[in-house]
Every structure is written in structure tokens, then in C-alpha cells.
Structure 1
Amino acid sequence: MQVQPYIFFEGRCEEALNFYKTALNAEVTMLMRYKENPVPQSSAESCGPDMMKIPPESVMHASFKVGDTDVMASDGMASGKPEFKGITLSVNPTSETEARRMFAALSEGGTVRMPLAPTFYSPLFGMLVDKFGVSWMVNVATDMPPK
């Protein structure tokens, strides 16, 4: 079994995908817009009036790969008000150089919560919220000695 994050960007999905391609070397593996929905319009209407208000160019579903992890994303209901509370995504670059690059890229336009610095459990660790409101931890992976 696998657990995959699914992020609803409420109208900024395509912008976020382009940002993560640069910041995380992400690869977009699938993108479908609402206008490409194979379900007839009458079926969409049965989902409620809010479905009818979503711009057809909005991203209905996307998948992108960060390292070995598949992340799914959408514009959701395109409300313009994404909320990411109580969840943080963690990336584990294998080098300090890559950690610094990722941290700087992800924090561009966002808010640094804990600057990238050495800790007792990692040569470099930091936390931030990116410009889309997604919380991130950047942690250089290391083998912890046994206790």
C-alpha cells in the first residue's frame, strides 16, 4: 500500500507545477484540464452547481514526481483560497548543496519558519512555507548512529 499527497491549489495548480519543476526538479507526469473531462456535461451538473463554475482551463487532475514520490494535484474548486493546515511535506536531498538549492528555491516568495542549519539529527535542516501556502521541511538525510 502507498499513501500519496494530493494537493488542491484552488486555481494556482499550473503555476505551482511550474514552480516545483524548478524548485524540486519535479517532473509532471500527467495533466488533465476540466475541459478535457471525458464525463458528459450532464454528469458534471449532477455534482452540484459549484462544479459548473470552475473555469474549463483549470487543472482537474495532475501528477508530478519529486524524486521517487508521486504527488497529485488539482485546482480543486478554483476558489482562490487554498488552505494547508496541519500537514507538512518533507524532502530529503542527499547533499548539502542540493538542500541549499531546494531551500532557497522553495522559500522564494514564501516564509522561512526555521532557517537551514545543522541540527543534532541532520547536517542541514530547515522549515518554510512556500508562496502557495504549502509547508515544507528540507532535511539532509543521514544515517543516525544506533542508540
Structure 2
Amino acid sequence: MSVTTTTHLNFRGTAREALDFYQSVFGGRTVAVTYRDAGAVGDEREADWVMWGEVAGDNGFHVMAYDVPGQLPWEQGENPFFVSVRGDDAEEIGALWHRLAEASTVVRPLEPAAWAPLYGMLTDRFGVTWVLDVAAPYSG
């Protein structure tokens, strides 16, 4: 199995603009799934915000981004990114989760989600927030 890490940038309403900008700088392909696309609209004013997005290039550049919903805390520059760990083997992602979770605060337990066979988020004892998931092909 292979595991990749990717910087996952956090915005509030400007993720699509940021992804478009990074794509114009680094090249590659942009994918942006809105809260509406995912059927996860909590606030109609945020329905077209990016729930999950990325720019990925053949040159190796890869960045992910999303718009933090209004009901969650967010201050520009204070929690600007997560580290995303993605793999294709649930057992290995689970093992990494359990080791990383030691002395961490679980934000969302590692469990099945509508968009992934396994997805979880935690903040480690050093203050770094990690998102671990098992990759699923996007069918949107």
C-alpha cells in the first residue's frame, strides 16, 4: 500500500478562488465539490462553498482545500491547514490512526463517511490537525 500526505488548506468562502489561483501558478487539474454537490448544506448561504477541493498536477504539485462552515471556529492564519494522510488500505490507515491518536484530541472518529470508506480527524499533542482517510474514487 502507499500512503500520501498532502497539505489541506482551510478557508472561509474563498477556497475556490484560492484553488483557481494555485492552479494558475502551478498548473494541474482542479476539482471542487461544493456542500450542495455533496448533499451536506447546513447553511444555504454556504451551499456553493467548497467542501472538498484539490489541485493536482503531473509535476507532483498537490494541495487540498475547503471552506470551513460558519458553525465551526475559524480565524484566518490561526488554523490555516490540516495534514491529509490518504491510503487505499483500511487496515493500514487504521493502524496509523491508532498510533497517531495517542495523546491526541479526536475531532472526528475514524469511521465510514458518505465520501470515504474511512475518515477521521484528530489534533495531535503538538497542535497539528491530521485528517486520515481511505481513498474512494470520486463519482460526481
Q: Which one has the bigger strand percentage?
A: 2
TM range (shorter): 0.3 to 0.5
Q: TM-score, normalised by structure 1?
A: 0.42
Bigger-Rg structure (1/2):
1
| TM-score where L is the length of structure 2 | 0.43
